[in-house]
Amino acid sequence: MLSLADFTLTELETVVQTAVSFREVLSRRTPKVPALQGVVVTTMFFESSTRTRSSFELAAKRLSAEVLNFTPGTSSLSKGETILDTAKTYLAMGANLMVIRHQDSGVPQVIARAMDQLNSGVGVLNAGDGLHAHPSQALLDLFTLALVLNPDNPSTSLLQGKKIAIIGDILHSRVARSNLWSLSTCGAEVHLAAPPTLLPPGFAEAFANQSDRPGERSIVQHSSLAPALHQADFVMALRLQRERMAQHLLPSLREYQQHFGLTRDRLICCRPGVRILHPGPVNRGVEISSDLMDDSSLSLISDQVRNGVAVRMALLYLMGVGKTASE
Amino acid sequence: MLSLADFTLTELETVVQTAVSFREVLSRRTPKVPALQGVVVTTMFFESSTRTRSSFELAAKRLSAEVLNFTPGTSSLSKGETILDTAKTYLAMGANLMVIRHQDSGVPQVIARAMDQLNSGVGVLNAGDGLHAHPSQALLDLFTLALVLNPDNPSTSLLQGKKIAIIGDILHSRVARSNLWSLSTCGAEVHLAAPPTLLPPGFAEAFANQSDRPGERSIVQHSSLAPALHQADFVMALRLQRERMAQHLLPSLREYQQHFGLTRDRLICCRPGVRILHPGPVNRGVEISSDLMDDSSLSLISDQVRNGVAVRMALLYLMGVGKTASE
Amino acid sequence: MLSLADFTLTELETVVQTAVSFREVLSRRTPKVPALQGVVVTTMFFESSTRTRSSFELAAKRLSAEVLNFTPGTSSLSKGETILDTAKTYLAMGANLMVIRHQDSGVPQVIARAMDQLNSGVGVLNAGDGLHAHPSQALLDLFTLALVLNPDNPSTSLLQGKKIAIIGDILHSRVARSNLWSLSTCGAEVHLAAPPTLLPPGFAEAFANQSDRPGERSIVQHSSLAPALHQADFVMALRLQRERMAQHLLPSLREYQQHFGLTRDRLICCRPGVRILHPGPVNRGVEISSDLMDDSSLSLISDQVRNGVAVRMALLYLMGVGKTASE
């Protein structure tokens, strides 16, 4: 599970339906199943993220897997070992699934390829790599959207024709990239809006052209907020990294907030019943005004986090079932 | 469980009796019960403390709960997220109980209030906040005292009329504050002794006046050691923070030790059978002489740590029973 | 389990045979046994090592023990507590086994002695102390060698008369010291090779003379690679610490690699079927050439890591069985 670029609609639907099952498990009195008993899940977060690691860790524990947290700060990497040798060490120890986050694009792919070449049977889950992809985030976003559209029978088909605006630092966002693949595969119309330094001219076209069937993907880009929000069904704000200011890509947070920050007023042009998403952590009052964020009739942020556990259970289960040391 | 200021005698007794049950569990061949199966306990230690965190973690595991350790060093806080949003994230992930330590007074209260406003059903346990409170420490102290007074039938009523001396940096001690509430509620006579820089004139009176019934609380303060130790049944030494020297509140550790350090000689004026407590970690030879510390006929320090697991099991159980994702 | 200096052949054989059993457990569909249910294993790594800690942690979990990780970075040590008081705190909390790594030689011994004096029943496992010993590593090396010599019936007796070359920084290697004890006890001929700065004249003799029966131990030292490799059955390369350069003990990594690095060519003088070991992490291309490392017909490095879990299960089991809080 490295990128959503090659996920088919059927595969996306499988993830959604499996997450539906685990969402039901999580609502039980004892929200735990023995599905991955004996399976070892290693989290390897070379870039730190307590939030995503906790979500994967809890998902693994709810499936009765063993979790080993590898923290590179106190690791053999500082002793000169290569990342591949670190991964091979965890393979030899008995890891069945590796959840990998790295600041450089492509690291999970490199590890996955090495694991394949060794016929290891190890499944690699990309938990965010550089600017490339963050597939579990996009899948939990998809599941959250489907649940809002039909709580009793969520499905990818509900996304067909919906207008979804993604606002913010598209250029540096792996969350945006992964969502572009999954949402456009489901037939949604994705509208991007950001200052030109964070969304260069031609981005949407170039992105779609990476695909086999670029013509079937509906991705439109804008350099201001209003056309993206117009009649939108959902608005996804992206996190603004403070280092963009140091890179002279933005004059100030305040400047960004004035032109691209979501407020109650600006949502008037959206469709009635519009809902807001954000991958977190949020800079309150920058990407989203504080009152919008706390308005549970508008904000889906808590739903995203909650659904993240079910979606990650689905991913670990789909990749890990049947994998124990003996096989 | 935020402060002991509003704990009634009945509530204190409930904690003691529940701890008695879990102490029995801990003496079994397999010292584990399924009481909190499926419950998620999140430890959020913004101020680091391996000792207290390990104690809560082991207590949670002995109750079959899942434990998620949030470590702010590698967290989204450094990315600008507010503490409340961090807590809401863990709530959405499925946390049922949050064990919170923070260097600032009041943080657990703020989180608890937010959790209540959201009708989340989450229980917040204060594991130490600033100079305010450290209720689980005072409760394990209370349980330890009650067990010494009657190992077969420990009870808060045994504390009635006992003289307990608390020695050291009262002014900066959340342990002292929490003990003042619990011990005086049980009817003990609490005597405080410290240099005036660490125990300002009028402290005891001002403290008692925060209470509904100040007249019923017996708290006396002294500026030298001897009157506090005279006929004392128990002596509790507090940890001396080395930063007090930098703040010019104390000339040197040696100076403190000469006037307020506990030694075998100085305990002669106590009651026969006097026992010594310390919340740890101890600066050996400063608050307590090294030979006193290692004399198991006098020191209750290991008992405090041991009883800490049973008391924290009791607190987690009392707050967490019946709380799983479904409710 | 502090050092292999006083391990008898019978004791080494017991570890090997117990590891055989747990290796079988690890090949099961659910590779977990309830052998240490209720037992608390505390890992105390004052010197950091994710690899060894993960291996012990997984071994403990496969035996159904509870694991508490003590990380001194965020600990009371920085508050002035002594290491012994930290150990006593974990004892009081209920630790049954302590796995200790420390940068100073002798720390696990000091803690073990204190635990004995307290009649605590706590077992202390040395996971590496200074330059002194790393017994679990040498035992997994022994198990790996025995398995290669007879996969169906591994035994220490198979080592009798085998020639094993240990190459590298012998002087600063606790791995080498522990292997010298175990391998020579099994009757192997151990040949050491290193530059004189890393293997002073007289080292082998002085080492053997620490033993009761020095004449029965066959340890030979060389100042060049060829005589050590000549007709060797196994070659163990040691990790080269980069700080040796700063200490002026070596001119450069390249210099070392040219004279002592293992390459395919240099192995020609070994016995046919020679196999290579390394405790890891490896500096690729320094101690061992990259192609040798990845040649699974020659390198036993992954086997060592894999067998490490079974051997550590054996050690935890042998020391921990029957130990729960009640005893």
Q: End-to-end distance of chain C based on CA atoms, in angstroms? A: 20
Contact A149, A159 (CB under 8 A): yes
> Does residue C300 share a domain with residue C258?
yes
Whether residue B26 and residue C90 make contact (CB cut-off 8 A), yes or no, is: no
Q: Kindly state the average pLDDT of the residues C60-85.
A: 81
Cα–Cα–Cα angle for C15, C16, C22, rounded to 5 degrees: 90
**B149 touching A (Cβ < 8 Å):** no
Residue C58 included in any domain = yes
> Does residue B96 share a domain with residue B154?
no
Structure confidence at residue A326 (pLDDT): 44
Contact C299, C275 (CB under 8 A): yes
Structure confidence at residue A251 (pLDDT): 84
Structure confidence at residue A327 (pLDDT): 40
Listed residue (B256, B77, B108, B83) closest to B174, CA to CA: B108
The overall pTM is greater than 0.90: yes
Q: What is the mean pLDDT of chain C?
A: 93
Q: Kindly state the average pLDDT of the residues A185-207.
A: 96
Burial bucket for residue C307 (CB in 10 Å: 0-12, 13-18, 19+): buried
- Name the residue facing A31 among B38, B71, B80 (closest C-beta): B38
Q: What is the mean pLDDT of chain A?
A: 93
Rg for chain B, CA atoms, rounded: 20
User: In this model, does residue C8 exceed pLDDT 50?
Assistant: yes
> Does residue C293 share a domain with residue C171?
yes
> Does residue A184 share a domain with residue A106?
no
Question: Testing the interface with B: which of A45, A49, A54 to mutate, by most B Cβ within 10 A?
Answer: A54
Structure confidence at residue A248 (pLDDT): 79
Residue B4 included in any domain = no
User: In this model, does residue C327 exceed pLDDT 50?
Assistant: no
CA distance A277 to A253: 20
DSSP class of residue C74 equals G
The b-or-e profile of A204-221 (16+ CB within 10 A means b, else e) is beebbeebeeeeebbbeb
Q: Which residue of C has its CA nearest to A39?
A: C30
Look-up: residue for tokens 């947070």? A253
Residue C262 included in any domain = yes
CA distance A320 to A121: 10
Whether residue A88 and residue C302 make contact (CB cut-off 8 A), yes or no, is: yes
Structure confidence at residue C212 (pLDDT): 85
- Give every CB contact of residue A180 below 8 A, 6+ residues apart in sequence: A166, A190, A207, A219
Which residues of chain B have a CB within 8 Å of the CB of A48? 74-75
Cα–Cα–Cα angle for B139, B141, B147, rounded to 5 degrees: 105
> Does residue C163 share a domain with residue C77?
no
> Does residue B36 share a domain with residue B155?
no
User: Worst-scoring range by mean pLDDT, A253-262, C75-84, C236-245?
Assistant: C75-84
Residue B29 included in any domain = yes
pLDDT digits over A31-83, tens only?
999 999 999 999 999 988 888 999 999 999 999 999 999 877 655 556 667 89
Question: Testing the interface with C: which of B27, B33, B51, B299 to mutate, by most C Cβ within 10 A?
Answer: B51
> Does residue B108 share a domain with residue B154?
no
Structure confidence at residue B82 (pLDDT): 86
Question: Testing the interface with C: which of B49, B50, B256 to mutate, by most C Cβ within 10 A?
Answer: B50
Predicted ipTM > 0.90: yes
Structure confidence at residue C74 (pLDDT): 52
Q: Which residue of C has its CA nearest to B27?
A: C326
For chain B, the domain total comes to: 2
Q: What is the band of A253 on the pLDDT scale with cuts at 50, 70, 90? A: confident
Distances A270 to A159, A184, B45 between C-alpha atoms, Å: 17, 20, 41
User: In this model, does residue A17 exceed pLDDT 90?
Assistant: yes
- At A100 the three-state DSSP class reads strand
> Does residue B179 share a domain with residue B300?
yes
Question: Testing the interface with C: which of A44, A57, A76 to mutate, by most C Cβ within 10 A?
Answer: A76
Q: Which residue of C has its CA nearest to A67?
A: C58
> Does residue B226 share a domain with residue B103?
no
Whether residue B58 and residue C94 make contact (CB cut-off 8 A), yes or no, is: yes
CA distance B118 to B101: 21
**C264 touching A (Cβ < 8 Å):** no
Listed residue (A176, A282, A284, A197) closest to A245, CA to CA: A197
Whether residue C283 and residue A80 make contact (CB cut-off 8 A), yes or no, is: yes
pLDDT digits over A90-146, tens only?
999 999 999 999 999 999 999 999 999 999 999 999 999 999 999 999 999 999 999
Listed residue (C72, C112, C66) closest to C325, CA to CA: C66
> Does residue C39 share a domain with residue C67?
yes
Which residues of chain C have a CB within 8 Å of the CB of B30? 37-38, 324
Find the CATH number of the domain harbouring A311.
3.40.50.1370
Residue C109 included in any domain = yes
Q: Kindly state the average pLDDT of the residues A215-232.
A: 96
Residue B327 included in any domain = no
Contact B188, B163 (CB under 8 A): yes
Look-up: residue for tokens 């790996």? C144
Range of the domain at B45: 9-133+306-320
User: In this model, does residue C75 exceed pLDDT 70?
Assistant: no
**A223 touching C (Cβ < 8 Å):** no
- At A192 the three-state DSSP class reads strand
pLDDT digits over C204-227, tens only?
999 999 988 888 899 999 999 999
Residue C325 included in any domain = no
User: pLDDT tens per residue, chain B (327 residues)?
Assistant: 999 999 999 999 999 999 999 999 999 999 999 999 999 999 999 988 888 999 999 999 999 999 999 877 655 556 667 899 999 999 999 999 999 999 999 999 999 999 999 999 999 999 999 999 999 999 999 999 999 999 999 999 999 999 999 999 999 999 999 999 999 999 999 999 999 999 999 999 999 999 888 888 999 999 999 999 999 999 999 999 877 777 888 888 889 999 999 999 999 999 999 999 999 999 999 999 999 999 999 999 999 999 999 999 999 999 998 776 444
> Does residue A140 share a domain with residue A129?
no
What is the percent of chain C where pLDDT is above 70?
96
**Count of all residues that appear for chain C in the document:** 327
> Does residue A188 share a domain with residue A102?
no
Neighbours of chain B (3+ CB pairs under 8 A): A, C
Query: Which helix (H) or strand (E) is B70 found in, with range?
Result: strand B66-70
CA distance C307 to B48: 35
User: In this model, does residue C72 exceed pLDDT 90?
Assistant: no
Q: Kindly state the average pLDDT of the residues C151-178.
A: 97
Distance from the Cα of C323 to chain B's closest Cα (Å) equals: 8
Structure confidence at residue C37 (pLDDT): 93
Whether residue B324 and residue A242 make contact (CB cut-off 8 A), yes or no, is: no
